[in-house]
Amino acid sequence: MVSSGVQVLGTTFSPFVNRVRISLNLKSVNFELIEENLAAKSDLLLKSNPVHKKVPVLIHDGKCISESLVIVEYIDEKWSGDDGVSILPSDPYDRAVARFWAAYFDDKVVPVLFKLSFGPESERVALIEQLAEGLVPLEEAFMTCSKGKSYFGGDNIGYTDIALGSFIGWIKAIEKMSGIKVLAEAKTPGLVGWVNKFLSTDAAKKFVPELEVYVELLKKMQA
Amino acid sequence: MVSSGVQVLGTTFSPFVNRVRISLNLKSVNFELIEENLAAKSDLLLKSNPVHKKVPVLIHDGKCISESLVIVEYIDEKWSGDDGVSILPSDPYDRAVARFWAAYFDDKVVPVLFKLSFGPESERVALIEQLAEGLVPLEEAFMTCSKGKSYFGGDNIGYTDIALGSFIGWIKAIEKMSGIKVLAEAKTPGLVGWVNKFLSTDAAKKFVPELEVYVELLKKMQA
């Protein structure tokens, strides 16, 4: 582990924070998670991310970086080359494809997850359908990007894997609570296989909370 | 000019497309703009960007890349080093800052511009106030990033300049039609100076349409 005085302001269950934790873990960077209480944000958080006042914030060398995907790119660039682990691929076109799908996920899928968690119960069935539809293009993306390998990043997890994979727990909790399969073998066989492989990687497994943690959290949010 | 068989699917007035045109121009890459009729999208557009069906699309080496900021990064990486022009800075932290502010602009400012252009007249005064407020953090960002120089990128325009600058015509048209100053010397002196400098750069001036073009367009959108 590289020792570097790296801190992450966040919560253990936030998928956005887990993008950062998985990326640091992948790069073998030692870090301290400073747990935030989002109901009573710390002065450190308000000072570190005055614009959005949100987690995650990465604090490194006295500098603060916000926005999960911006942080992931920073980590990839700052700790590059030491042991050959790259988060983004090296080819500019492949990099663009990875960024495209991460942006797609944040624009089209994440807002549905939020509505499912905080919105009215009456809309949930329609939203789950919308969620499942939003994941379909990612099945095609997986088939194209993985080129027959295990991950979007090929043989190893990369940018798209991290961007999407951090949200698996949340999606599984929605499936569990609604009794409706969002990722089903029939429609998205590639993604179903990818989920299991992603969750078993060293980088991800310690940072994706147990399903029951998300179910409890979701119950609270929906209440 | 590098000759390279580069095509951009777009419209001359779209700020998103102009991000791409300015970036290519900055890199001295010759390209052809294939004008799209957004009311009757071409088969080429639907095939090139099947997910979002939106402009801009960059076509290069038979590959299609979508999402304006993703394309800007592709251009920066693909045509790097030839003549020393970089769009993103080299330092990972400075790159993160540039990406942060571009994302901020797209998340917080652009949606207000859309509402102002397509939403009901009754909300316009409140939205213009919201727009002006949304620009205030960018004044601070400019002061920090420019380090006393002319642009967010320092001595030369860079990623944040392109991301924000492409929207200047739209903002000015809103000011003109409402009679309300959004960028005023009193509140955002740095940005006011930056706007004029940005519009006078070789890379930008040929691609930012005249104010009257935007005013006419805005009248149509608001009608």
Domain CATH number, residue B174: 1.20.1050.10
Residues of A in contact with B104 (CB under 8 A): 51
Interval A26-59: pLDDT, tens? 999 999 999 999 999 999 999 999 999 999 999 9
**Encoded tokens for B212:** 């009257």
Q: Are residues A27 and A131 in the same domain?
A: no
Q: Are residues B18 and B42 in the same domain?
A: yes
Q: Are residues A178 and A155 in the same domain?
A: yes
Which residue in chain B is spatially nearest to A80 when comparing CA positions? B92
* pLDDT for the residue numbered A4: 58
What value does the mean pLDDT of chain A take? Answer: 93
CB contact under 8 A, A96 and B70: yes
A85 belongs to a structural domain: no
- Report yes or no: B13 at the A interface, CB cutoff 8 Å: no
- Report yes or no: A77 at the B interface, CB cutoff 8 Å: yes
Q: Are residues A100 and A138 in the same domain?
A: yes
A86 belongs to a structural domain: no
B83 belongs to a structural domain: no
Q: Are residues B21 and B123 in the same domain?
A: no
- Report yes or no: A67 at the B interface, CB cutoff 8 Å: yes
- Mutation choice for A interface testing from B70, B91, B136 by most A CBs within 10 A: B70
B120 belongs to a structural domain: yes
Higher pLDDT, A169 or A84: A169
Q: If you average pLDDT over residues B60-66, what whole number do you get?
A: 96
Q: If you average pLDDT over residues B177-181, what whole number do you get?
A: 90
**Encoded tokens for B121:** 């007249």
Contacts of B74 (CB under 8 A, 6+ apart): A92, A93, A95, A96, B58, B65
Residues of B in contact with A137 (CB under 8 A): 51
Q: Indicate which CATH number applies to the domain containing B59.
A: 3.40.30.10
Q: Are residues A21 and A56 in the same domain?
A: yes
Instruction: Report whether pLDDT(B2) > 60.
Output: no
Q: Are residues B59 and B115 in the same domain?
A: no
Q: Are residues A69 and A104 in the same domain?
A: no
What is the domain extent for residue A63? 2-78
Q: If you average pLDDT over residues A171-192, what whole number do you get?
A: 92
A47 belongs to a structural domain: yes
B197 belongs to a structural domain: yes
**Encoded tokens for A144:** 């194209």
Which class for B90: exposed (0-12), middle (13-18), buried (19 or more C-beta within 10 A)? exposed
Alpha helices in B147-188 (DSSP H): 159-165, 168-178
CB contact under 8 A, B65 and A104: no
Determine the 3-state secondary structure of A79 from DSSP: coil
Chain A nearest-CA distance from B223, in A, is 28
CB contact under 8 A, B70 and A103: yes
Task: Note whether B20 and B54 are within 8 A (CB).
Answer: no
A87 belongs to a structural domain: no
**Please, what is the Cα angle at B192 between B166 and B186, to 5 degrees?**
140
Q: Are residues A62 and A99 in the same domain?
A: no
The ipTM is: 0.95
Instruction: Report whether pLDDT(A81) > 80.
Output: no
Task: Note whether B85 and B27 are within 8 A (CB).
Answer: yes
* C-beta pairs of A137-143 under 8 Å, 24+ apart in sequence: A137/A104, A137/B51, A138/A101, A138/A104, A138/A105, A138/A109, A138/A164, A138/A188, A138/A191, A139/A187, A139/A188, A139/A189, A139/A190, A139/A191, A141/A97, A141/A101, A141/A104, A142/A190, A142/A191, A142/A194, A143/A190
* Distance of alpha carbon A106 from alpha carbon A116, whole angstroms: 15
Q: Any idea which residue has 């909790």 for tokens?
A: A173
Q: Are residues A61 and A98 in the same domain?
A: no
Peptide bond just before A209 cis, omega within 30 deg: no
* pLDDT for the residue numbered A203: 87
CB contact under 8 A, B71 and A96: yes
* Distance of alpha carbon B23 from alpha carbon B58, whole angstroms: 12
- Report yes or no: B189 at the A interface, CB cutoff 8 Å: no
HSE-CB at A187 with a 13 A cutoff on CA atoms is 13
- Mutation choice for B interface testing from A20, A48, A60, A67 by most B CBs within 10 A: A67
Q: If you average pLDDT over residues A9-27, what whole number do you get?
A: 95
Chain B nearest-CA distance from A215, in A, is 29
* Distance of alpha carbon B128 from alpha carbon B44, whole angstroms: 37
* pLDDT for the residue numbered B103: 98
B143 belongs to a structural domain: yes
Interval A142-164: pLDDT, tens? 999 999 999 999 999 999 999 99
Residue where a domain stops, chosen among A38, A55, A78: A78
Peptide bond just before B56 cis, omega within 30 deg: yes
Q: Are residues B166 and B143 in the same domain?
A: yes
Chain A nearest-CA distance from B111, in A, is 13
Interval B125-161: pLDDT, tens? 999 999 999 999 999 999 999 999 999 999 999 999 9
Q: Are residues A174 and A110 in the same domain?
A: yes
Residue where a domain stops, chosen among A78, A105, A134: A78
Task: Note whether A20 and A47 are within 8 A (CB).
Answer: no
**Please, what is the Cα angle at B147 between B196 and B156, to 5 degrees?**
50
Q: If you average pLDDT over residues B172-181, what whole number do you get?
A: 91
**Encoded tokens for B158:** 């860079």
The b/e string for B160-174 (b: 16+ C-beta within 10 A; e otherwise) is bbbbbbbbbbbbbbb
Residue where a domain stops, chosen among B78, B100, B131: B78
Residues of A in contact with B23 (CB under 8 A): none
Percent of chain A with pLDDT over 70: 97
Chain B nearest-CA distance from A192, in A, is 21
* C-beta pairs of B129-132 under 8 Å, 24+ apart in sequence: B131/B171, B131/B174, B131/B182, B132/B182, B132/B183, B132/B184, B132/B187
- Report yes or no: B163 at the A interface, CB cutoff 8 Å: no
Query: Residue B83: pLDDT band by 50, 70, 90 thresholds?
Result: low
Query: Residue A220: pLDDT band by 50, 70, 90 thresholds?
Result: confident
In chain B, the number of structural domains is: 2
- Report yes or no: B93 at the A interface, CB cutoff 8 Å: yes
Instruction: Report whether pLDDT(B222) > 90.
Output: no
